[in-house]
Amino acid sequence: MSVAALVLFALFVLLVVARALLQRHRTGDTGGRQSSIPFGSTQWWWHWVFQLGLLLTGVAAPIADLVGLAPLGVLNHPFPRWLGVVMATLGALAAFAGELAMGASWRIAVDESERTGLVTGGPFRLVRNPIYSAMLGAFVGLMLMVPNVIALGGLVIAVVGIEATVRLVEEPYLRRMHGPAYDDYASRVGRFLPGIGRVRSNRPAAAPHPDNRGAQ
């Protein structure tokens, strides 16, 4: 499964590259903003924590498996390994579909100087971060394919990086850019799973209309 895991990780990377090329073809801009992240900023640190987790799970763990690192016994069975193949494949494809659903608003990393449209349609009607949800599913799958301590550690690091990026960088940015529209969206739609992680709206409740006071 080590070679298959490396191939699926390569597929994941190629789909991201393909999405960037498609974005450039449609808009003249790849959507990549990694170079604009201020060095040492909150976003910079968590961006690279996330990238480290992906590389550990998708590259280092399969290579370690190839050179003989022992798998974790509880997961070292055919069923979870084949389940991992399915999860990794579907997760990579679902992440690509989520990227396509963002249209011209798709970005890699946040540039505080620009304002993109708030996307709430397609898979974003179900969860606020369907791309991250799909990516996590894909990397759980990769961990199941090569269930060693490096893959498990990388997965944990990736989860922490995603959680911190979303909570500390992306959500505050979207709230600043879109105000009440984002508050309303976040109060109705879960963060990574449907219905889970909804955020209470900061908007004050509307005062009752004078004609409705005392109505039963």
Which of 46-52's residues contact partners 24+ apart within 8 Å by CB, and which partners? 46/161, 46/164, 46/165, 46/168, 46/169, 47/109, 47/161, 47/165, 49/157, 49/160, 49/161, 49/164, 50/157, 50/158, 50/161, 50/162, 50/165, 51/161, 52/154, 52/157, 52/161
Model confidence at 215: pLDDT above 80: no
Share of the chain above pLDDT 90, in %: 85
pLDDT for residue 203 = 55
Whether 130 is covered by a domain: the verdict is yes
Model pLDDT for residues 181-209, shown as the tens digit of each residue: 999 999 999 999 999 999 876 555 444 44
Whether 204 is covered by a domain: the verdict is no
CB atoms under 10 Å from CB of 106, counted, come to 23
Model confidence at 99: pLDDT above 50: yes
Q: Which amino acid is at 103?
A: G
Model pLDDT for residues 110-151, shown as the tens digit of each residue: 998 898 899 999 999 999 999 999 999 999 999 999 999 999
Task: Please give the structure tokens belonging to residue 25.
Answer: 């073809």
pLDDT for residue 200 = 79
Whether 142 is covered by a domain: the verdict is yes
Whether 30 is covered by a domain: the verdict is no
Phi/psi at 32 (5° precision): -75, 130
* Number of domains, the chain: 1
Model confidence at 76: pLDDT above 90: no
Whether 211 is covered by a domain: the verdict is no
Whether 117 is covered by a domain: the verdict is no
Query: Can you tell me the mean pLDDT for 53-70?
Result: 96
Whether 53 is covered by a domain: the verdict is yes
Residues in the chain: 216
Find the angle CA(112)-CA(114)-CA(115) to the nearest 5 degrees: 110
Model confidence at 106: pLDDT above 90: yes
Model confidence at 49: pLDDT above 70: yes
| Cα 17 from chain centroid (whole Å) | 16
Find the angle CA(131)-CA(43)-CA(153) to the nearest 5 degrees: 65
CA distance 11 to 42: 29
Whether 31 is covered by a domain: the verdict is no
Domain that holds residue 71: 2-21+41-106+122-199
Task: Please give the structure tokens belonging to residue 131.
Answer: 């791309």
Q: Which amino acid is at 12?
A: F
